[in-house]
Structure 1
Amino acid sequence: MTELLPDSLLERIRSRAAGFDRKNEFFDDDLTELIDAGYLTAFVPRDLDGPGLTLIDVSRLQRRLASAAPATALAINMHLIWTGVARQLHDRGDSSLDFVLSGAAQGEIYAFGISEAGNDLVLVGSNSEARPDGEGGYSFYGTKIFTSLAPVWTVLGTMGLDSTSDDAPKVVYGFVRREDGGFTIKDDWDTVGMRATQSRTTVLEGAHASADAVVRRLAPGPNPDPLIFGISSNFQLLVASVYTGLAERALELAIDAAAKRTSKQNNNAPYSDDPVLRWRIADAWIALDAIPSQIERTASDIAEGVDHGSLWFPKLSAVKVRATETARSVVDQAIAVAGGGSYFSRSELGRLYRDVLAGMFHPSNSDAAHKAAANGLLGPIADD
């Protein structure tokens, strides 16, 4: 597994992260080296000549990558989510996304064109249009936000609502190719953190998915379809992995700062002897230590086909929310330990502080996760 992300490559990626952030540039150099290392084929199964890594394996790699460059890891996540979904379906005998795995093996870069402003239905409803072409294909119209990998994707997985077919409405999932056009990418990514992802707005203006690239037509609303479960499970667990890796790096930096800083009040003793800072570091470690095992236990349950029934989606959301909120807490503690130097933009901890804030914006957010858990445990409210 480490051959896909050796120490030497990780350190080169780490050395570039600050520059990409400062200049608000895409991580082209990182991507080139990750492609050369075979990183983007991680989920491709052995029977399709790939490494055949599991969701647990990829989670560990993404934590490792995020510890060096969170924005690079988060953007790569979107490619890995699609290939992870395809792998999950493949392992269950569903070949409908095998072309995604074959494409990844041949160098395709997949992006995630799902999120829409104001659409809290996320996967089971859409503000975008999916217009049938009469031959089984669809053209998509609408605005997608947070489209990571915007400068380089070759294939965009997206969705929209078919409201005109005889069996409408249907939420249509399909894949459109960059070379076929039918879209505009705005140069509008100027954010507080996660800047190198270049997750620009994509306006779909008739981007076309041929019949063989249309993978689902689903009734709007909650749906047990394996594609929906696959997207949710890979998205939530891999996002959780990225922010966990970020937090692990913040804790490393806090420990290093405590060892290097000294206190004049205490005869130049290192801050690592200060009981308050020791408590802060211990508190951060105690909170963070539980997260990787929760991610991996959930991934193992997916692989083993454990039936959590109506609590499956709440469990996935809970892991993501717990991981991102824990990461924010850990970074806060790390900054308190490191002191005022972390407030400068040149500080790695300062950058991690900005990057970790993005965790609250990925679905599911805390409010949605609590609602899903309550519905799973108590049943939905009659009016829902």
Structure 2
Amino acid sequence: MTPEEVLPDQLLEDIRSRAARYDRENAFFTEDLEELTAAGYLKLFVPTSDGGLGLGLEAAAQCQRRLATAAPATALAINMHLVWTGVAQVLAARGDVSLDFVLQDAGRGEIFAFGNSEAGNDSVLFDSKTAAVPLPGGGYSFTGTKIFTSLSPAWTRLGIFGKDSQAREGDGELVHGFIDRETPGYTVLDDWDTLGMRASQSNTTVLDGVEVPADRIFRKLPVGPNADPLIFAIFACFESLLAAVYTGIGERALVLGVEAVQRRTSFKNAGRSYAQDPDIRWKVAEAAMGMDSLYPHLLEVTRDVDALAEHGSQWLPKLVGLKVNATETARRVVDLAIRVSGGSSYFRGSELERLYRDVLAGMFHPSDDESAHNTVANAWLGPLET
């Protein structure tokens, strides 16, 4: 299916029509979620045999790019559900069925969210500040604080991880599992009041001894970087789908900038269109060239994931490089679009003003600019000497 078939124009316009209100009211995208669920959008990665659309990462990323042109915060939050279902699909394509239950649950209408991020944890997936304590029977209890938990008002399954500090002879072990909405022992704080991406309602989640049964513990990994397929799958889906959202933001900003330039006229130049101003034309061209380099980058990386391409040690640099390219390019394009659109874009309620705030969130998602450059430098030059 094409993105246009998955997200018909009318559905996209309905979603676009609500985005400003959600942002203004700092409200969750309830109606968007209901309509996307009804359209089967949350089942992009779910096999057709389980009632889904059976898409791969390339097609899903293009759908997310399209959705983000209408409502970036909605797309960003939906990303977190798609990350988990995408991880399950990427693993299954490589013969690992450990997360097939995620696809089956999603096929039955469950909504997944990503509860891994922790304040001050720059090790991201390779260590955790959350304590995971073994329980009789193979389960674990988790105590810690997770930030940026998108879909907080709606998720029914939350993926979390923590560290069992006593495992592996005291070296520690990272334990991954899922909790249900009904599981006691966690609290969702009402603390999402941010500059942008407001409709995502990515509230803080406090885990206070929340228990995960043995059948929902799906990975136990050593602390530190490792080559487990789960790590690849999370990076592949998280970075690519983030890149798709920010590509959509840049795409929309360019369209709005072009429309503004064609609409504006110059009093100084006898009412001529700003589309005839050489300086304005240069800025529009700069934005367009940035986007033209980003579209094939997104396609190439996601297509390689689907094709089981072998990039070895270059896979992680490719994924973090895509994310940084997308978020930084989108930020430059939004800035250029505002520059050519005039002072009206500075007012609250302008779509470009909202995109300007939304696009800034890209610098905070992992991998951040510093981490990504370090990853790529290590791949090409080796680690720093100690």
- TM value normalised by structure 1: 0.98
Which 5+ residue runs of structure 2 have no aligned equivalent? none
What are the residue-to-residue correspondences of 1:190-205 with 2, within 5 Å?
190-205=193-208
Partner of 2:259: 256
**Alpha carbons 1:241, 1:292 under 8 Å: kept:** no
What are the residue-to-residue correspondences of 1:1-384 with 2, within 5 Å?
1=1, 2-165=4-167, 167-168=169-170, 169-383=172-386
**Alpha carbons 1:132, 1:165 under 8 Å: kept:** no
Question: Which piece of structure 1 moves more, 75-84 or 156-165?
Answer: 156-165
- Identical-residue share of aligned pairs (%): 57
Question: Which piece of structure 1 moves more, 88-97 or 192-201?
Answer: 88-97
Q: 1:41-80 CA distances to partner (integer Å, 9 max, x unpaired)? A: 0001223332111111111110100000000000000000
**What's the CA shift for 1:310?**
1.7
- Rounded Cα–Cα distance in structure 2 between residues aligned with 1:74 and 1:127: 25
- Rounded Cα–Cα distance in structure 2 between residues aligned with 1:92 and 1:358: 32
**What's the CA shift for 1:195?**
0.3
| Number of residues of Structure 1 aligned to a counterpart in Structure 2 | 383
| Aligned AA (2:271) | N
**Alpha carbons 2:57, 2:305 under 8 Å: kept:** no
- Rounded Cα–Cα distance in structure 1 between residues aligned with 2:113 and 2:185: 16
**What's the CA shift for 1:167?**
4.9
**What's the CA shift for 1:127?**
0.3
| Aligned AA (1:300) | R
- Rounded Cα–Cα distance in structure 2 between residues aligned with 1:55 and 1:365: 22
| Aligned AA (2:307) | E
**Alpha carbons 2:58, 2:306 under 8 Å: kept:** no
**What's the CA shift for 1:180?**
1.2
Q: 1:9-36 CA distances to partner (integer Å, 9 max, x unpaired)? A: 1000000000000000000000000000
- SS of match in other structure, 1:266: coil
- TM value normalised by structure 2: 0.97
| Aligned AA (2:316) | F
- Rounded Cα–Cα distance in structure 1 between residues aligned with 2:148 and 2:139: 25
| Aligned AA (2:385) | A
- Rounded Cα–Cα distance in structure 2 between residues aligned with 1:113 and 1:312: 24
| Aligned AA (1:57) | A
| Aligned AA (1:39) | Y
**What's the CA shift for 1:166?**
5.8
- Rounded Cα–Cα distance in structure 2 between residues aligned with 1:6 and 1:205: 43
**What's the CA shift for 1:304?**
2.1
Q: 1:84-105 CA distances to partner (integer Å, 9 max, x unpaired)? A: 0000111111110001000111
- Rounded Cα–Cα distance in structure 1 between residues aligned with 2:384 and 2:188: 40
Q: 1:293-313 CA distances to partner (integer Å, 9 max, x unpaired)? A: 111111122222222222211
- SS of match in other structure, 1:47: helix
- Alignment root-mean-square deviation, CA: 1.0
